[in-house]
Every structure is written in C-alpha cells, then in structure tokens.
Amino acid sequence: MLSFDNTEIAFRYKSNYDLSRARILFSTLANPGLVNVGKSLTYFALKMHLPVAWAIKPTLYKHFVGGETLEECEKTVKLLSKFNVKSILDYSVEGGKDQQTMQRTLDETLRSVIHAAKHPDIPFSVFKPTAFASQQVLTLASENTAIDDETANAIRFFKDSVEKLCKTAFENDIPIMIDAEDSWYQPFVDQVVTEMMEKYNKQKAIVYNTLQMYRTDRLEFLKESLRKAEAGNYYLGIKFVRGAYMEKERLRAAEKGYPSPIQPDKEATDRNYDAGIAFTIDHLDRISVFNGSHNEKSNRLLTELMTKKGLARNESRIWFSQLYGMSDHISFNLAEEGFNVTKYIPYGPVRNILPYLIRRAEENTSIAGQTGRELALLEQERIRRKKS
C-alpha cells in the first residue's frame, strides 16, 4: 500500500529554517480564537485602507503564495520541479469588481495561460469565474430571469472572457481549469464551460470543469456530463474537489428556505467524492481526471484504481494536486512514486489574495485533524533531522 509517511521525502525541499517557520505558522492556525481575531483585524485594516502587507507577507502569504507576479513564482516552480512536482500558477484576484480590474485580470490570466504553455513544469492553467463577473451578475444569469442592459453587457463580457481564455489555451495546447465557487450561480458557469468543452475538447480534454463533491447533485451531474460528451463526441475534463464554501452554502439555504445543496455529513461527502473518482476511472476513454484533494484515503484510492486497471503511474489523463503550503507528504510521496503531481500556487498582490488566505487559515483551523496532521508531520521531520 502506498505510504504518505515519509517526511524526509515530503519536506526535503524545505530548509531547517523553512521547516521551523511552517511549524510556527501551523501552531498559530491551530488556535481558532487567534485566527478569528486576525481575520477581524485584517478586514478592519482593509476597510480603513491601512497597510496589511507587513503582517501577512512574511507569514501566511509566504507559506501559501508563490509571489506577486509569474516571474516571482519561478523560484518556487523550479524548486518543486527538482522533485518531479509540477506547478499551476493561479492569478488569485477574487470577486469581479469594476470593469478596469476585470480587464486587467483577464490580461494577466491570458499571460498566465501562455506562460504555462511555454513552461515545461506548468502543465495546466486556471481561472475563477468571479474574476470576470460579479456574483450578482452570475446569479442573475443562472436564474434565467429578465435582465437589464447593464447586466446583459456584464454577461457578455464574462462569456467573451471565458471564450478568449479557452481559445488561447486550445491554440497553445495547454489544459485550462475553471474553478467552482458558490452553487447558486454554478448553473450558468456549467452552461458556459460545457459550451467550451463542446468546442475545444474534440481531440482531448483542454477545458476542465470543477465538481464540488460536497454537493448532493454532482454525481448525477457527472453522469449527465458524460452522456452529453458521448452524444456530442467530445472529451470531458473534470477537476474533483470536495468544496470550500460549505458554511456559506448551508447558511444561505437556511436563510432562503431551500434544502441545503450540501451532503448531510463528512462521510457522505467522502463517499460521493470517491464514487466520482471511481466512475471516472471506469470511463477514462472519455474523461480526464484532476484529483484536487488533501485527503489521504481519496488519493490512495485513485492510485489503487489505477493499479487495478493496469494504468501507468504517469498516465497523462490522471493528475493529483494539492494546494501549495499544504499536504506536502501527499504531493512529494506521490511524485516520488512516479504519479503526475501538481501544486496549485496562487499568485498576486497581497491585498487581492487575502480572501484566499483567510479561507486557508479557516480551513486549517476548522477541519478536524488537518492542522494537527501538518504539525505532527513537521515535528516528525524536525526530530528525524536532529537525529541524523
């Protein structure tokens, strides 16, 4: 059975100094009270236009982010590639605001697609739907209700942006993934991404949709997507994740009085996730899979299914991925065993990346066992280095 326990492999890209910095960070994140105070202070500082970079940059930002620009990320990309771990550079400017910001984000994301296509250690490109339209616009588009001219223009900008990005990815032969966010505007995102797959996935998966398997309807959606792809004779690219917005989803459902779209408990999400992965492996002739997870069992399951099917470890239609700064024991041990592995590395200015950092801080506080696991592994490696 594949083991993720080898901390020497997991952390060999980290110096002793980096290792102790990571231990301090995860010890801090293990304290929910401290994380909450930090979050409130950060929001306050942002609202008052006070500088926040001095506190965030040497701590959370340095651990979870590649840099402010594509060029600044190069050092990290090179370092990871030494150990056969590839990178995905994600321009993480969240929440479409004014037109100028969205246009700048589009230009930068296009640059990141071309950069990835030229770079031997960057096998995918990626973007977030809300970088090119506000949540409100995407929600109106999903609800299919009457819209005014301004909303119609905003929807057109979104569709044009997605088309430009997917076309550039296709012409440069680099896969492109579209992240998933909130369920209430995902119908429109699914519709646009499906159109892109129909157009650009005729020979292989270039465009990848994201399925959040904490949603009760996603397994059926996956099966329906396959039926459509077979009927339309195109390939499916699927990025599997469990989903990062559970609390928000449940709260909105309760407030608005509709059934929660989220699985009733963690076990149900885990079962759904693994069922999705297993379904995909049975349909690899049509689906390429990207397994975005820090869950040891799900990662191991995928390796076992590959072995059972007699697939090569570096099978080009199967990728494993973890976020930069998390679960190195999974990434580096998988890469050491010859599987295709990437780290998702966000980049961008400190201020713009704060929502992502706050999510990582909360995730590492709230997920039972996650911070404990990171800390225990870091400690294990510290002791091992001291002894050797």
Ligand X SMILES: Cc1cc2nc3c(=O)[nH]c(=O)nc-3n(C[C@H](O)[C@H](O)[C@H](O)COP(=O)(O)OP(=O)(O)OC[C@H]3O[C@@H](n4cnc5c(N)ncnc54)[C@H](O)[C@@H]3O)c2cc1C
For ligand X, the binding residues (CB under 6 A) are 179-180, 210, 212, 214, 241-246, 262-263, 265-266, 269, 292-295, 321-323, 344, 367, 370
Cβ distance to ligand X smaller for residue 269 or 303: 269
The pair of three-digit structure tokens given for residue 357, joined into one six-digit string: 């950092």
Residues forming a β-bridge with 54: none
Rg (the chain; Cα; Å): 20
Beta carbon nearer to ligand X, 175 or 292: 292
How many of the other CB atoms lie within 10 Å of CB of 48? 7
Pick 244 or 311: Cβ nearer ligand X: 244
Residue 271 beta carbon to ligand X: minimum distance, rounded to whole angstroms: 11
**Shortest distance in whole angstroms from residue 162 CB to ligand X:** 15
Amino acid at 345: I
**Among the residues of the chain, which ranges form H helices?**
7-10, 16-29, 32-47, 53-56, 62-64, 70-81, 99-118, 135-143, 149-171, 186-200, 218-232, 246-256, 266-282, 296-308, 328-336, 350-366, 370-387
CB nearer to ligand X: pick between 52 and 96: 96
**Nearest CA to 276 among 227, 239, 303?**
239
Tell me the closest approach of the beta carbon of residue 207 to ligand X, in angstroms: 14
Q: Are 66 and 89 in contact (CB under 8 A)?
A: yes
State in angstroms the smallest separation of the CB of 199 from ligand X: 22
What's the min distance (Å) between Cβ of 279 and ligand X? 17
Closer Cβ to ligand X, 87 or 322, answer by number: 322
Closer to ligand X by Cβ: residue 183 or 201: 183
- d(CA 61, CA 55) in angstroms, rounded, equals 9
Beta bridge partners of 87: 343
Q: Which is nearer to ligand X, 138 or 323 (CB)?
A: 323
**Closest approach of Cβ 92 to ligand X, in Å?**
11
Residue with tokens 């905003």: 154
Q: 141 or 241: whose CB is closer to ligand X?
A: 241
To ligand X, the closest distance from the beta carbon of 214 in angstroms equals 4
CB 9 within 8 A of CB 336: yes
Structure-token pair, residue 243: 């989903």
Report the DSSP beta bridge partners of residue 322: 343
CB of 192 to ligand X, least distance (A): 15
Match 């998988």 to its residue by tokens. 334
Shortest reach from residue 181's CB to ligand X, in Å: 6
Dist. CA 78–CA 68, nearest whole Å: 16
- Cα–Cα dist 251/17, whole Å: 41
Query: Is the distance from CB of 224 to CB of 276 less than 8 angstroms?
Result: no
| Sign for the pseudo-dihedral over CA of 167, 346, 186, 123 | positive
In the complex with ligand X, the residue whose CB is nearer, 297 or 385, is 297
CB of 194: closest distance to ligand X in angstroms? Answer: 17
Structure tokens given for 118 = 């030229």
Of 346, 351, 323, 345, which Cα lies nearest the Cα of 97?
351
Q: Which is nearer to ligand X, 55 or 253 (CB)?
A: 253
Distance, CA of 19 to CA of 244 (rounded, Å): 27
